[in-house]
Amino acid sequence: VESEPFPGVGNLAFGGHRLKIFAGSSNEPLATAIAQYLGRGKTSPIVRKRFADGEMYVKLEESVRGCNVFLIQSTSTPVNDHLIELLLMIDACRRAHAHQIAVIIPYYGYARADRLIDPDKHRREALTSKLVANMICEAGADRVVVVDIHSPQTCGFFDIPLDHIYASSAIVRYLLKRGDLANLVVVAPDVGGVARARALAKALNDAPLAIIDKRRDGHNLATVLNLVGDVKGKNCVIVDDMIDTGGTIVEGAKMLRERGALHISAACTHALFSGPAVERLSSGVFEEVITTDTINLPQEKLFPQLRIISLAPLIGEQIWRLHEQYLR
Protein backbone atom coordinates (compact mmCIF):
# COMPACT_ATOMS: atom_id res chain seq x y z
CA VAL A 1 0.00 0.00 0.00
CA GLU A 2 1.40 3.36 -1.02
CA SER A 3 0.63 6.21 1.38
CA GLU A 4 0.63 9.47 -0.54
CA PRO A 5 1.51 12.65 1.40
CA PHE A 6 -1.47 14.88 2.08
CA PRO A 7 -0.95 18.64 1.97
CA GLY A 8 -2.23 19.79 5.33
CA VAL A 9 -1.50 19.47 9.00
CA GLY A 10 0.16 16.06 8.65
CA ASN A 11 1.01 13.62 11.43
CA LEU A 12 -1.48 15.20 13.76
CA ALA A 13 -1.30 14.65 17.51
CA PHE A 14 -4.28 14.89 19.83
CA GLY A 15 -3.41 15.78 23.38
CA GLY A 16 -7.01 15.67 24.58
CA HIS A 17 -8.81 12.54 25.66
CA ARG A 18 -12.10 13.56 24.08
CA LEU A 19 -11.47 11.94 20.69
CA LYS A 20 -12.02 8.20 20.25
CA ILE A 21 -11.53 6.13 17.10
CA PHE A 22 -13.07 2.67 16.92
CA ALA A 23 -12.57 0.22 14.07
CA GLY A 24 -15.09 -2.24 12.74
CA SER A 25 -13.90 -5.59 11.43
CA SER A 26 -14.22 -4.69 7.73
CA ASN A 27 -10.99 -2.71 7.35
CA GLU A 28 -8.82 -2.68 10.45
CA PRO A 29 -5.57 -1.88 8.57
CA LEU A 30 -7.05 1.38 7.21
CA ALA A 31 -8.49 2.32 10.62
CA THR A 32 -5.10 1.71 12.26
CA ALA A 33 -3.35 3.80 9.60
CA ILE A 34 -5.82 6.64 10.19
CA ALA A 35 -5.24 6.48 13.96
CA GLN A 36 -1.48 6.55 13.40
CA TYR A 37 -1.79 9.55 11.07
CA LEU A 38 -3.67 11.31 13.85
CA GLY A 39 -0.88 10.52 16.30
CA ARG A 40 -2.83 8.00 18.35
CA GLY A 41 -0.83 4.87 17.56
CA LYS A 42 -3.84 2.56 17.44
CA THR A 43 -7.62 2.54 17.57
CA SER A 44 -9.56 2.41 20.83
CA PRO A 45 -10.23 -1.10 22.17
CA ILE A 46 -13.49 -2.79 21.25
CA VAL A 47 -14.83 -6.33 21.59
CA ARG A 48 -16.55 -7.79 18.53
CA LYS A 49 -17.63 -11.40 18.54
CA ARG A 50 -20.27 -13.74 17.16
CA PHE A 51 -22.45 -16.17 19.06
CA ALA A 52 -22.93 -19.77 17.96
CA ASP A 53 -26.18 -18.93 16.16
CA GLY A 54 -24.54 -16.11 14.17
CA GLU A 55 -25.71 -13.15 16.28
CA MET A 56 -23.17 -10.36 16.76
CA TYR A 57 -21.99 -8.79 20.00
CA VAL A 58 -20.22 -5.43 20.38
CA LYS A 59 -18.77 -3.87 23.54
CA LEU A 60 -16.64 -0.76 23.96
CA GLU A 61 -13.64 -1.41 26.20
CA GLU A 62 -13.21 2.17 27.41
CA SER A 63 -15.43 5.07 28.37
CA VAL A 64 -16.73 7.38 25.64
CA ARG A 65 -18.86 9.62 27.87
CA GLY A 66 -18.68 13.18 26.56
CA CYS A 67 -16.28 12.18 23.77
CA ASN A 68 -16.31 12.73 20.03
CA VAL A 69 -16.40 9.21 18.64
CA PHE A 70 -15.41 8.22 15.12
CA LEU A 71 -16.45 4.76 13.92
CA ILE A 72 -14.61 3.44 10.85
CA GLN A 73 -16.41 0.68 8.96
CA SER A 74 -16.80 -0.13 5.27
CA THR A 75 -19.91 -2.07 4.29
CA SER A 76 -17.95 -4.40 2.03
CA THR A 77 -18.20 -8.19 1.74
CA PRO A 78 -19.89 -9.65 3.77
CA VAL A 79 -22.03 -6.54 3.35
CA ASN A 80 -24.90 -7.38 5.69
CA ASP A 81 -22.63 -8.56 8.52
CA HIS A 82 -20.56 -5.39 8.39
CA LEU A 83 -23.67 -3.21 8.23
CA ILE A 84 -25.21 -4.83 11.32
CA GLU A 85 -21.88 -4.56 13.14
CA LEU A 86 -21.77 -0.85 12.34
CA LEU A 87 -25.30 -0.35 13.68
CA LEU A 88 -24.36 -2.15 16.91
CA MET A 89 -21.27 0.04 17.28
CA ILE A 90 -23.37 3.18 16.87
CA ASP A 91 -25.91 1.96 19.41
CA ALA A 92 -23.17 1.05 21.92
CA CYS A 93 -21.71 4.56 21.66
CA ARG A 94 -25.11 6.19 22.02
CA ARG A 95 -25.95 4.18 25.12
CA ALA A 96 -22.50 4.99 26.56
CA HIS A 97 -23.31 8.76 26.35
CA ALA A 98 -20.90 9.75 23.59
CA HIS A 99 -21.07 13.47 22.85
CA GLN A 100 -20.97 13.09 19.05
CA ILE A 101 -20.96 9.94 16.91
CA ALA A 102 -19.45 10.31 13.44
CA VAL A 103 -19.59 7.29 11.16
CA ILE A 104 -16.76 7.02 8.63
CA ILE A 105 -17.81 4.71 5.78
CA PRO A 106 -14.93 4.46 3.27
CA TYR A 107 -17.04 2.18 1.07
CA TYR A 108 -20.81 2.56 1.33
CA GLY A 109 -22.56 -0.61 0.17
CA TYR A 110 -26.06 -0.57 -1.31
CA ALA A 111 -25.32 2.80 -2.93
CA ARG A 112 -26.22 1.32 -6.32
CA ALA A 113 -29.77 0.59 -5.10
CA ASP A 114 -30.63 4.29 -5.21
CA ARG A 115 -33.62 4.36 -7.56
CA LEU A 116 -36.62 2.33 -8.67
CA ILE A 117 -36.06 0.74 -12.07
CA ASP A 118 -38.72 -1.99 -12.16
CA PRO A 119 -39.56 -2.18 -15.88
CA ASP A 120 -43.24 -2.97 -15.32
CA LYS A 121 -43.61 0.36 -13.48
CA HIS A 122 -45.37 -1.22 -10.50
CA ARG A 123 -42.44 -0.29 -8.22
CA ARG A 124 -42.22 -3.57 -6.34
CA GLU A 125 -38.53 -3.28 -5.51
CA ALA A 126 -36.90 -1.91 -2.38
CA LEU A 127 -35.14 1.46 -2.31
CA THR A 128 -32.35 -0.11 -0.30
CA SER A 129 -29.97 2.81 -0.22
CA LYS A 130 -32.58 4.98 1.50
CA LEU A 131 -33.44 2.19 3.93
CA VAL A 132 -29.79 1.76 4.95
CA ALA A 133 -29.47 5.53 5.41
CA ASN A 134 -32.54 5.48 7.67
CA MET A 135 -31.07 2.63 9.74
CA ILE A 136 -27.80 4.50 10.31
CA CYS A 137 -29.66 7.66 11.32
CA GLU A 138 -32.08 5.85 13.64
CA ALA A 139 -29.26 3.89 15.30
CA GLY A 140 -27.95 7.21 16.64
CA ALA A 141 -25.28 8.54 14.28
CA ASP A 142 -24.83 12.33 14.33
CA ARG A 143 -22.77 12.63 11.14
CA VAL A 144 -21.67 10.44 8.25
CA VAL A 145 -18.55 10.64 6.08
CA VAL A 146 -18.45 8.69 2.80
CA VAL A 147 -15.77 8.37 0.13
CA ASP A 148 -16.67 8.51 -3.58
CA ILE A 149 -20.21 7.24 -3.13
CA HIS A 150 -21.55 5.58 -6.29
CA SER A 151 -24.51 7.92 -6.69
CA PRO A 152 -24.25 11.41 -5.16
CA GLN A 153 -28.03 11.58 -4.84
CA THR A 154 -27.70 8.98 -2.08
CA CYS A 155 -26.25 11.73 0.12
CA GLY A 156 -29.73 13.26 0.20
CA PHE A 157 -31.16 10.10 1.75
CA PHE A 158 -29.54 10.94 5.10
CA ASP A 159 -31.38 13.16 7.57
CA ILE A 160 -28.14 14.07 9.34
CA PRO A 161 -25.08 16.03 8.12
CA LEU A 162 -23.03 14.10 5.56
CA ASP A 163 -19.55 14.83 4.21
CA HIS A 164 -18.72 13.39 0.79
CA ILE A 165 -14.97 13.29 0.18
CA TYR A 166 -13.20 12.26 -3.00
CA ALA A 167 -10.21 9.99 -3.55
CA SER A 168 -9.33 11.66 -6.86
CA SER A 169 -6.67 13.84 -5.22
CA ALA A 170 -4.71 10.77 -4.13
CA ILE A 171 -5.05 9.15 -7.57
CA VAL A 172 -3.99 12.38 -9.29
CA ARG A 173 -0.86 12.59 -7.12
CA TYR A 174 0.02 9.01 -8.04
CA LEU A 175 -0.42 9.67 -11.78
CA LEU A 176 1.55 12.92 -11.58
CA LYS A 177 4.34 11.07 -9.82
CA ARG A 178 4.26 8.40 -12.53
CA GLY A 179 4.74 11.10 -15.17
CA ASP A 180 4.26 10.89 -18.97
CA LEU A 181 1.23 13.21 -18.96
CA ALA A 182 1.89 14.55 -22.45
CA ASN A 183 0.59 11.33 -24.02
CA LEU A 184 -2.19 10.66 -21.51
CA VAL A 185 -5.91 10.29 -22.25
CA VAL A 186 -8.49 9.91 -19.45
CA VAL A 187 -11.32 7.55 -20.39
CA ALA A 188 -14.84 7.45 -18.95
CA PRO A 189 -16.16 3.85 -18.97
CA ASP A 190 -19.72 5.05 -19.61
CA VAL A 191 -21.73 8.23 -19.99
CA GLY A 192 -22.52 8.29 -16.27
CA GLY A 193 -18.82 8.54 -15.45
CA VAL A 194 -18.07 11.53 -17.69
CA ALA A 195 -18.16 14.10 -14.88
CA ARG A 196 -15.72 12.05 -12.78
CA ALA A 197 -13.35 11.50 -15.71
CA ARG A 198 -13.51 15.16 -16.77
CA ALA A 199 -12.59 16.32 -13.25
CA LEU A 200 -9.63 13.93 -13.18
CA ALA A 201 -8.51 15.03 -16.66
CA LYS A 202 -8.64 18.68 -15.61
CA ALA A 203 -6.48 17.93 -12.56
CA LEU A 204 -3.98 16.18 -14.85
CA ASN A 205 -3.07 19.36 -16.74
CA ASP A 206 -6.26 19.28 -18.85
CA ALA A 207 -5.55 15.87 -20.36
CA PRO A 208 -7.75 14.82 -23.32
CA LEU A 209 -10.96 12.94 -22.57
CA ALA A 210 -12.51 9.89 -24.26
CA ILE A 211 -15.87 8.26 -23.57
CA ILE A 212 -16.96 4.66 -23.98
CA ASP A 213 -20.57 4.27 -25.07
CA LYS A 214 -22.01 1.37 -23.07
CA ARG A 215 -25.40 -0.25 -22.78
CA ARG A 216 -26.16 -2.35 -19.69
CA ASP A 217 -28.18 -5.52 -20.31
CA GLY A 218 -28.63 -6.34 -16.62
CA HIS A 219 -26.89 -6.28 -13.22
CA ASN A 220 -23.13 -6.84 -13.71
CA LEU A 221 -23.65 -7.23 -17.48
CA ALA A 222 -22.57 -4.65 -20.03
CA THR A 223 -22.05 -4.33 -23.79
CA VAL A 224 -19.59 -1.82 -25.24
CA LEU A 225 -20.89 -0.18 -28.39
CA ASN A 226 -18.71 2.74 -29.41
CA LEU A 227 -15.87 5.09 -28.48
CA VAL A 228 -15.95 8.89 -28.51
CA GLY A 229 -12.47 10.37 -28.73
CA ASP A 230 -9.03 9.50 -30.10
CA VAL A 231 -6.82 7.00 -28.25
CA LYS A 232 -4.50 5.84 -31.03
CA GLY A 233 -0.91 5.87 -29.81
CA LYS A 234 -1.99 7.17 -26.39
CA ASN A 235 -1.58 6.03 -22.80
CA CYS A 236 -5.10 5.59 -21.43
CA VAL A 237 -6.45 5.62 -17.88
CA ILE A 238 -9.99 4.30 -17.47
CA VAL A 239 -11.51 5.93 -14.39
CA ASP A 240 -14.46 4.60 -12.38
CA ASP A 241 -15.67 4.80 -8.80
CA MET A 242 -15.60 1.02 -8.31
CA ILE A 243 -14.65 -2.24 -10.00
CA ASP A 244 -17.02 -5.09 -9.14
CA THR A 245 -16.79 -8.09 -11.47
CA GLY A 246 -14.56 -6.16 -13.88
CA GLY A 247 -16.63 -6.95 -16.97
CA THR A 248 -17.36 -3.36 -17.95
CA ILE A 249 -13.85 -1.99 -17.54
CA VAL A 250 -12.14 -4.98 -19.17
CA GLU A 251 -14.38 -4.83 -22.24
CA GLY A 252 -13.63 -1.13 -22.43
CA ALA A 253 -9.89 -1.81 -22.25
CA LYS A 254 -10.14 -4.34 -25.09
CA MET A 255 -11.87 -1.73 -27.25
CA LEU A 256 -9.13 0.80 -26.48
CA ARG A 257 -6.49 -1.74 -27.47
CA GLU A 258 -8.31 -2.37 -30.75
CA ARG A 259 -8.37 1.39 -31.39
CA GLY A 260 -4.58 1.60 -31.02
CA ALA A 261 -4.00 2.53 -27.37
CA LEU A 262 -0.43 1.84 -26.20
CA HIS A 263 -0.52 1.67 -22.38
CA ILE A 264 -3.82 1.02 -20.59
CA SER A 265 -4.39 1.51 -16.87
CA ALA A 266 -7.52 1.29 -14.73
CA ALA A 267 -8.13 3.56 -11.75
CA CYS A 268 -10.92 3.20 -9.20
CA THR A 269 -11.62 4.10 -5.59
CA HIS A 270 -13.37 0.92 -4.45
CA ALA A 271 -11.90 -2.49 -5.32
CA LEU A 272 -14.81 -4.87 -4.80
CA PHE A 273 -13.24 -7.52 -7.07
CA SER A 274 -16.20 -9.90 -7.02
CA GLY A 275 -16.38 -13.23 -8.87
CA PRO A 276 -14.04 -13.37 -11.88
CA ALA A 277 -12.69 -9.82 -11.40
CA VAL A 278 -9.15 -10.78 -10.37
CA GLU A 279 -8.80 -13.21 -13.25
CA ARG A 280 -10.03 -10.60 -15.72
CA LEU A 281 -7.92 -7.74 -14.39
CA SER A 282 -4.72 -9.79 -14.21
CA SER A 283 -5.15 -11.30 -17.68
CA GLY A 284 -2.76 -8.77 -19.25
CA VAL A 285 -5.24 -6.28 -20.64
CA PHE A 286 -4.03 -3.68 -18.08
CA GLU A 287 -0.47 -2.62 -17.36
CA GLU A 288 -1.65 -1.17 -14.03
CA VAL A 289 -4.79 -1.32 -11.89
CA ILE A 290 -4.75 1.61 -9.45
CA THR A 291 -7.09 1.57 -6.46
CA THR A 292 -7.31 2.69 -2.84
CA ASP A 293 -7.62 0.90 0.49
CA THR A 294 -11.30 1.71 1.19
CA ILE A 295 -11.81 -2.06 1.01
CA ASN A 296 -9.38 -4.43 2.69
CA LEU A 297 -8.40 -6.94 0.01
CA PRO A 298 -7.45 -10.48 1.08
CA GLN A 299 -4.20 -11.98 -0.17
CA GLU A 300 -5.94 -14.05 -2.84
CA LYS A 301 -7.27 -10.89 -4.52
CA LEU A 302 -3.85 -9.29 -4.96
CA PHE A 303 -2.04 -9.54 -8.31
CA PRO A 304 1.15 -8.07 -9.84
CA GLN A 305 -0.52 -5.20 -11.74
CA LEU A 306 -2.36 -3.91 -8.65
CA ARG A 307 -1.29 -0.61 -7.04
CA ILE A 308 -3.01 0.35 -3.77
CA ILE A 309 -2.96 3.95 -2.53
CA SER A 310 -3.76 4.61 1.12
CA LEU A 311 -6.51 7.12 1.93
CA ALA A 312 -5.51 7.29 5.61
CA PRO A 313 -4.16 10.89 5.26
CA LEU A 314 -7.28 12.06 3.42
CA ILE A 315 -9.73 10.54 5.92
CA GLY A 316 -7.52 11.50 8.87
CA GLU A 317 -7.57 15.11 7.70
CA GLN A 318 -11.38 15.02 7.58
CA ILE A 319 -11.57 13.59 11.11
CA TRP A 320 -9.23 16.36 12.34
CA ARG A 321 -11.50 19.04 10.90
CA LEU A 322 -14.67 17.50 12.33
CA HIS A 323 -13.08 17.12 15.75
CA GLU A 324 -11.98 20.76 15.72
CA GLN A 325 -15.51 21.77 14.76
CA TYR A 326 -17.01 19.78 17.64
CA LEU A 327 -14.64 21.45 20.12
CA ARG A 328 -15.74 24.97 19.22
Residues marked as catalytic: 214
List the beta bridge partners of residue 40: none
CA-closest candidate to residue 236, choices 182, 186, 189: 186
Radius of gyration of the chain (CA): 20
Distance CA 60, CA 63 (A): 7
In DSSP notation, 44-71 reads: PPEEEEE-TTS-EEEEESS--BT-EEEE
The set of residues, in sequence order, having a beta carbon less than 8 Å from that of 53 and lying 6+ positions away, is: none
Sheet holding 100-105, edge to edge: 19-23, 68-72, 100-105, 143-147, 162-165
Q: Taking the chain, what is the end-to-end CA distance rounded to the nearest angstrom?
A: 35
* CA–CA–CA angle 306, 254, 280 (5° rounding): 40
Strand 56-60 to 46-50 pairing: antiparallel
